[in-house]
Amino acid sequence: MFPRKFDYVAPSSLDETVDALKGAGFAKVMSGGMSLLPLMKLRLVSPELVVDIGRIPGLDQISEEGDMLTIGALVRHYQTAGSEKVPAALAAAAAYTGDVQVRNRGTTVGAVVHGDLAADQPAAVLALGGVIVVQGPNGVREIPATDFFVDTLTTAIEPDEVATAIKVPKGGSSAYDKLGRRGGHTDYAVAGAAAWVKKDNGNITECRVALTGVAGRPTLAEGTAEAMVGTDGSAGAIAEAASKAADGVSVLEDLYGSEEYKAHLATVYAKRALTLALNE
């Protein structure tokens, strides 16, 4: 209920943020705090320094640049969910995150960087082929989502770096669907899938499907994506491709699902997400 003591800074620029993180010991960057603060209150995470980026101007924008859409580090879930510019998979994932109050405060970048294995938006960013933009002492670098999610609550971001934005490519069609813990779209995902497809002349030319809640981190269902490419995207093709969703994925059991059940749900939600994407 009560976090341990920590030092607090609220820098007014990203450069100041990087300076604050430099040699700070155990520091955590906070944007909305929806993921970090509950862990701190339960004393499961007790940083020495909290760097609150909430006062840095200019990070709360969704902007388009060429083929890419940039979502700044202070864009709240409700903004992502409500923006017509945001690809459907990510908008739906943001809409299914937390609840109204959490969506009013929490940020899309924060949810992605937190790397919870059952969160919604990481899978969407992964399926969309997004990149995470981080800034550190050595400048800015872009980490592809495929390299970003390392393990449960562990990502490729370094302790002295701050995530400044997520970029996702525009184009193609996408969708996200999940089974929440109380059923429907509520709460964390028992399992869910985001799908992205590109079609040319009636045939699927590119496809990515990402799973959440199934493995220790958001994971690509590579077998499904490969099987989709070259097909016409018919219900039969989807069903066949989706049946491979859990192939090669190391499925984790939890209170809400056995390994067998989660592997099964991976195929169901790969199918549902692909179907939705192709009907977008």
Interaction site with other proteins (CB under 8 A) = 1-8, 10, 30, 33-34, 37-38, 41-43, 50, 52, 54, 78, 98-102, 104-105, 179, 181-184, 186-188, 190, 255-258, 261, 264-265, 268
Which CB atom, from 22 or from 41, has the smaller least distance to other proteins? Answer: 41
The least CB distance from residue 98 to other proteins, in Å, is 7
Distances 9 to 16, 27, 30, 144, 160 between C-alpha atoms, Å: 10, 10, 10, 29, 15
Which CB atom, from 229 or from 252, has the smaller least distance to other proteins? Answer: 252
Which CB atom, from 38 or from 230, has the smaller least distance to other proteins? Answer: 38
The least CB distance from residue 245 to other proteins, in Å, is 14
CB of 127 closer than 8 Å to CB of 152: no
113 SS3 class: helix
The least CB distance from residue 132 to other proteins, in Å, is 23
CB of 193 closer than 8 Å to CB of 242: no
The least CB distance from residue 119 to other proteins, in Å, is 13
CB of 4 closer than 8 Å to CB of 46: yes
Which CB atom, from 38 or from 58, has the smaller least distance to other proteins? Answer: 38
Q: How far apart are CA 172 and CA 277, in angstroms?
A: 9
Q: For 174, list phi and psi in degrees, rounded to 5.
A: -150, 165
Which CB atom, from 34 or from 277, has the smaller least distance to other proteins? Answer: 34
Which CB atom, from 67 or from 99, has the smaller least distance to other proteins? Answer: 99
The total of other beta-carbon atoms located within 10 Å of residue 73's CB is 29
The least CB distance from residue 185 to other proteins, in Å, is 9
Distances 165 to 57, 99, 142 between C-alpha atoms, Å: 13, 23, 9
35, amino acid identity? S
